Structure 1
Amino acid sequence: MSETDRIEKSIELKAPLSRVWKALTDHEAFGTWFRVKLDGPFVPGEVSRGRVTYPGFEHVEWQAVVQKMEPERLFSFTWHPYAVDPNTDYSQETPTLVTFTLGATATGTLLRVVESGFDKIPACRRAEAFRMNDGGWAEQVRNIAEYLAHG
């Protein structure tokens, strides 16, 4: 695995595991901080669909396949990273895997986000997808922290 195959972000959140878990896995809570309007709850093995609400990206459809939901420990899904061009069919690409791992700390919860599999993205868009998602995950860990601080 190369150093451009995975993105890792960690943040210590001042909230108990149960609140962080709900923020990650309740589709409405997730949608609030992630900025996506989801059609329904996350269900392992099923496709999650919706529409991005982040300004400038409202044309982007959200689609991910929920892989695992291990309460208060792990939540994962696969998706097509930076799939923002409505005229491009991303369905033949190998999706990346996004994994949220939670662990209790003395003052709250350590959240670790890993997105892996970029080396399998077509070369013509790999670097841009990696760059955009690297910045995106940096913003999203701040978003969940802010959501939990004010929720």
Structure 2
Amino acid sequence: MSDCIEKTIELNAPIARVWRALTDHEAFGTWFRVKLDGPFVPGEISRGRITYPGYEHVVWEAKIVSMDEPRLFSFTWHPYAVDPEVDYSKETPTLVEFHLRPEGTGTHLSVTESGFDAIPSHRRAEAFRMNDGGWAEQMKNIKAHIGG
């Protein structure tokens, strides 16, 4: 198993539009399916509720690491932390990085999630599998959101 998930997509939208979809908490919430409590602020925790059917009980929580407009947006979080009875805070979080670059008249977007080797072995494979599929779905979601 790899330590890293990588997904890429070409979006038929200017980089500024993609940046907004990623970093505006309301736009992010629309395509990611999470109702966030407030704006993203580097160094601070962002929280909200997942709105994806079947996961409404899950609190979304991430620490915003970087907002280097318009090239890099990153955060750390606990992957596939869906059991409300488990305290995931003792685990080392993974790092999620969105890299953007202009590509012709559109934008090349890549998402990388790394650090799975630090996830406890009893849940590492499932967290990796679920997030790998999740990121594939989220790339479709952002494309539909942007319309490109």
> Aligned pair 1:27/2:15, yes or no?
no
Once residues 102 and 48 of structure 2 are traced to their aligned partners in structure 1, the CA distance between those partners, rounded to angstroms, is 31
Structure 1 residues 91-130: aligned runs within 5 Å = 91-130=89-128
4+ residue segments displaced more than 3 Å? none
Q: Deviations over 1:67-102 (max 9, x none)?
A: 000011000000000000000000000000000000
Structure 1 residues 1-151: aligned runs within 5 Å = 4-149=2-147
Q: Deviations over 1:26-46 (max 9, x none)?
A: 000000000000000000000
Report % sequence identity: 71
Q: Number of residues paired by the alignment?
A: 148
What is the TM-score normalised by the length of structure 2?
Answer: 0.99
Could you say what the CA RMSD is over the residues aligned between the two structures, in angstroms? 0.8
* Structure 1 residue ranges without an equivalent (≥5): none
Once residues 113 and 106 of structure 1 are traced to their aligned partners in structure 2, the CA distance between those partners, rounded to angstroms, is 19
Once residues 106 and 117 of structure 1 are traced to their aligned partners in structure 2, the CA distance between those partners, rounded to angstroms, is 32
* Structure 2 residue ranges without an equivalent (≥5): none
Once residues 107 and 122 of structure 1 are traced to their aligned partners in structure 2, the CA distance between those partners, rounded to angstroms, is 43
Once residues 129 and 95 of structure 1 are traced to their aligned partners in structure 2, the CA distance between those partners, rounded to angstroms, is 12
